[in-house]
Amino acid sequence: MAKASSTRRRIALMCAVVTFGATAGACSGGTEAVPGANNAAQSMLDRAPVATEAELAASPTAMAIKQRGELFIGASLETPLMSQQNPTTGEAEGFDATLGKLLAKYILGEPKRKIITTTPQIREALIQNSTVDAVIQNYSITPKRAEKVSFAGPYFISGQAVATLKGKPDISRPEDLNGKKVLVATGSTGAGVVKELAPQAQQIAFNTDPECVQALEQGRGDAWVKDLPVIAGETKLNDKIQLASGTFGSDPYGIGIKHGDESFKKFVNGWLKKIQDAGLWQQAYQESLGTVIPGEVPQPPAIGSVAGS
């Protein structure tokens, strides 16, 4: 029954995304497009800061967005807890999705933004050819990527996490993976971290995360290693697996913008600092990732604290 329940939820999600993609190809939304938006989300938007004329004038990119009247954001619509389309309202929800609304409110005075669905393979290209103004999509800051785009932030520090079947022994340290069959996505950050920190683990690689989950459910591996938000989101959908305690490694997420646009980077960093100081970052976390990840709301990362940001 648990597997059937999980499958139904996945099908519902996929249908919603496919229908949406077939009719629009991108998601446009502001508060006016959110019938039934909950009071907490609206309260957060009401308290969100708006840039002054002087702050806007300091960034030609921000001014151009203001004149256009809409912020173009590269993001996902199928990442639970980060940015996932609500099949009832059609609105994107989650930590990244909320930050996108808050940034639009800061620039425009209203949370009017269009989501351009992206994949890791095309994110840099969409920024470089100005299809999007910014990418907010659990976008890890790496030296290689920083040669192609600039990163504001970091806005979140993730790490590698472990999922196991419910009832299995907890795995809280990388060393616990030694001697076990560990499922990873080919070429993922998790694969590299496991190789470094648990060299006696037997890695079993798959092309996609859903394949890893399926293999875990079938008992073809003892654990699945992936970014914390991805695993947390999967545990929200799949009642057969659990998030093990503890994470390892450090994976800073940044907001991708056009390479070398220092004035816009300063503008976005200034906005990040304001929403951190106002407690809006913390509220966005609590209402998304915090519904699954145990523990207190973490401290927001220091802006500019990692190489490439």
Tens-digit pLDDT profile for residues 238-267: 999 998 877 888 889 999 999 999 999 999
What is the chain's mean pLDDT, rounded?
86
C-beta atoms surrounding 182 within 10 Å: 25
Output the pLDDT for position 132.
98
- 27-53 average pLDDT score: 69
Output the pLDDT for position 28.
37
Instruction: Tell me how many degrees the CA angle 152-43-101 measures, rounded to the nearest 5.
Output: 30
Least confident of 10-14, 111-115, 213-217, 232-236: 10-14
- For residue 229, pLDDT over 60 is answered with yes
3-state SS, residue 254: strand
* 141 within 8 A of 252, measured Cβ to Cβ: yes
Tens-digit pLDDT profile for residues 113-139: 999 998 877 999 999 999 999 999 988
- For residue 11, pLDDT over 90 is answered with no
- 195-200 average pLDDT score: 92
C-beta atoms surrounding 197 within 10 Å: 16
**pTM of the predicted protein model:** 0.79
* 229 within 8 A of 284, measured Cβ to Cβ: no
Output the pLDDT for position 5.
42
- For residue 183, pLDDT over 50 is answered with yes
E strands in the chain: 26-29, 71-75, 78-79, 83-85, 92-93, 113-117, 134-135, 149-165, 181-185, 202-206, 223-227, 241-243, 248-258
Output the pLDDT for position 38.
67
CB burial of 253-284 (b: ≥16 within 10 Å; e: otherwise) equals: bbbbbbbebeebbebbbbbbebbbeeebbbbb
- Distance, CA of 244 to CA of 127 (rounded, Å): 35
DSSP state of 297: P
The dihedral built from the CA positions of residue 304, 309, 76 and 72, taken in this order, carries a sign that is positive
Domains and CATH numbers, the chain: 39-157+252-291 (3.40.190.10), 159-249 (3.40.190.10)
- For residue 20, pLDDT over 60 is answered with no
